[in-house]
A and B are shown apart, each in its own frame.
Chain A
Amino acid sequence: MSTWDRFVDTFFNARVMAKYLPDILSGVVVTIELAVLIVASGLLAGLALALVRALAIRPLNWLIIFIVDLFRSLPPLVIIVLIYFGLPAAGLSPSGFVSTWIALGLVLMAFAEEIFWAGITSIPRGQWEAARSTGLGFGQTLLNVVLPQALRLTIPPLTNRTIAITKGTALGTVVAVTEILGQASSAVSNSYNPSPLMMGSAAYVVLFLPVVVAARWIETKFAWKR
């Protein structure tokens, strides 16, 4: 066998790949489920926190800032491990899936709050004053005038951050989540062959590359005015 054939036989072994393809595909499903849950709950919670912060209630704002700082400071993997191995001592036993969801959801919430808040404060005071002068209330102004402008500004940084955090679903493998990397890793140790890892890698590229390319397009379309 030539070097090349040996390389292909090792890293792209057709027999191994066929055998473990179903596992990888089930991993893809888990990754997608996890990603959707993280994005939906993280963005919603972040937006909710930013809106509460707009009410400008001092003690509440300090709490929000602390929570945001906390989840920006801690490495996501540390949070996952903390929830998975720590909570059982308090009588709760979240699964690896739930631990990863909660941890990454909290991280995305923190970053999203910062970005939404930055967007809201970037809207000039004159916009508030004009809306209020026409008789709109605080909530109406926020919802109809400020948020639509703010959201547009937040889209590029938000997409980038969301992609970066969603990629973190791979961290779930550390707490036995059967997502792509988890499936690939156990397949590698069962088959003594790296082909499943190559399949898993390909799956990540297929899943995330279109999102990255779309983000690049969005970035040019909604770019911050410099």
Chain B
Amino acid sequence: MIETFLNPEIIAAIWPIVLAGLANTVLLSLIVVPLGLLGGLIVALLATVHHPLVRWPLMAWVDFFRAFPPLVLLVLLFAGLPFAGLELGGFACVAIAFFLNTGAYYGEILRAGIDSVPVGQIEAARSTGLNRLQAMGYIVLPQAVRNVLPDLLSNTLEVVKLTSLGSVVAVPELLFQARQAQSLTYSPTPIVLVAIVYFLILWPMVRLLSRLENRALASRR
């Protein structure tokens, strides 16, 4: 069994490839998480404008990306755009797709956070002369982020997992490297190994989240 699924010789041989994949997964995450957060912040700030001309298109935008599978978005950018004469490369396609897709999710979370801050906070800030933007930046957002921290973390976990979609458009991240190694070795060992790597990296985050979610629940009682 071990011979097949975790063959030591194969592990030794492919270890450098897997490490390179890990580096790319980390790099990809470090790019797409801030991009998604930026997109989410834009969405959430726009959502504070209650004008119907902003509100309805924004809601449609968010719902569209909640309905649209990220992989389809990615393939659309990667395989569709070249027909319009625009060849972006896998990495750029992943960045754009994530900015749009996870931006919508982060946006929903941050919007809920902003809504959870009492109006009195804004009034108190404005009564001391802070302008709208200052009140948002110094008073509302810090509290909003704290209130929805478990949700933000949970979404970040999903985003990191989603970087594995990069393998479909030839971004050499963990899963892509594993599949390359698999086709070279005709063995499931590379994929098992990469699954273990993912688990070891993300498990602490899952544990932390589980704790945070339980605490949030306890306070709701």
Contact = CB atoms under 8 A, between A and B. Distances in A.
A82 B195 contact: yes
A7 B66 contact: no
B206 A73 contact: yes
Q: For the complex, would chain B's binding face be called helix, strand, loop or mixed by DSSP majority?
A: helix
Interface in B103-134: 116
A201 to B, nearest CB: 6
Interface string A37-64: 0000000000000000000000000000
A201 B76 contact: yes
A1 interface: no
Interface stretch (B35-43, B79-87, B138-146): B79-87
Given A118-B217, A197-B79, A82 B192 contact: yes
A185 interface: yes
Contacts of A173: 71
| Interface footprint category on B | 35 or more
A78 B195 contact: yes
B116 A89 contact: no
B220 interface: yes
11 contacts: A69-B203, A70-B199, A75-B161, A81-B175, A122-B221, A169-B69, A185-B75, A200-B72, A201-B72, A201-B76, A216-B63
Interface of B: 1, 4-5, 63-64, 66-72, 75-76, 79-80, 83-84, 116, 157-158, 161-165, 167-168, 175, 178-179, 182, 187-188, 191-192, 194-195, 198-199, 202-203, 205-207, 210, 213-214, 217, 220-221
